[in-house]
Structure 1
Amino acid sequence: MEKHYEGEVVGRSATLFTAAFDQATGVGTYVAMESSEGSLHGCGGAFDFAHSATTSGSDRTAEFFTIVPSSGTGELSGISGAGGTAIDADGTHRIWFDYELGELS
């Protein structure tokens, strides 16, 4: 799937997404790998991140979200860190990053 971002993250990502999910009960787990390109707080480039979560139908547990080491390019070269996803009541997904920019050895 392709996602488009706006706000402090601007750009798009190509996402490999798989899930074991029961539509009737809303219970399941997903795993995703994303390759993003655009800008993060005004720094342009690309980087990859992985995330997953489990739901019992009304919550999110076992959440995992990490920026893939050594995946940054351009001004995002050396990016490292984590992040997360928040889901609004209307179903809007909001992504956030807790990251550092620096040179990798």
Structure 2
Amino acid sequence: MRATGTFNVKSFVPTDVTPDPAITTALPVGVAKLEKQFEGEITGRSATLFTSAFDQAAGVGTYVAMESFEGALNGRAGTFNFVHCASTDGTTRTDMYFAIVAGSGTGDLAGITGTGDLLIDADGTHRMVFEYELA
């Protein structure tokens, strides 16, 4: 099955985390908490833990995000977790990974497995795609 939708970031809150031991690299590492709101075949919200090594000025870096989703895919309501990451050289997204966490589904989404993608349109619209199966 496939579900697509758009999302908006409702909040992006940088969170102080101090690695131990402290190691300085060419790209600063940061952590943030996000809340997203979804519309389309994907409706609901997610709570996201977001980690990145990123140079804002150059637009170069990599992120890893773990999301807890609550809502519906194609009208089937429940919750589940998914993880995604990508790198950028400032113009192109590469090294993308996206997976639904097996065993994390509840409600009508119990038994969900699969993959997906996060896409950014030229106008800045953020899109989420889930390619999934239900047990």
Q: TM-score, normalised by structure 2?
A: 0.74
CA offsets 1:47-99 (integer angstroms, 9 cap, x no match): 00000000001111000000000000000000000000110112221000110
**Could you say which residue in structure 1 is the equivalent of 2:118?**
85
Higher-Rg structure is 2
The secondary structure found in structure 2 opposite 1:75 is helix
In structure 1, how many angstroms separate the alpha carbons of the residues matched to 2:47 and 2:56?
24
Cα distance, 1:24 vs structure 2:
1.0
Aligned Cα root-mean-square deviation (Å)? 0.5
Structure 2, unpaired ranges of 5+: 1-33
Gaps of 5+ in 1: none
Deviations 1:24-51 (A, max 9, x none): 1110000000000000011000000000
Q: Structure 1 residue 30 and structure 2 residue 63: aligned?
A: yes
Higher relative contact order (CA closer than 8 Å, sequence separation 6+): 2
What is the alpha-carbon distance in structure 2 between the residues aligned to residue 90 and residue 14 of structure 1? 24
Percent sequence identity is 64
Q: What residue is the counterpart of 2:26 in the other structure?
A: none
TM-score by length of 1: 0.95
Paired residue for 1:63, among 85, 96, 104? 96
The ranges of structure 1 where at least 4 consecutive aligned residues each deviate by more than 2 angstroms after the TM superposition are: none
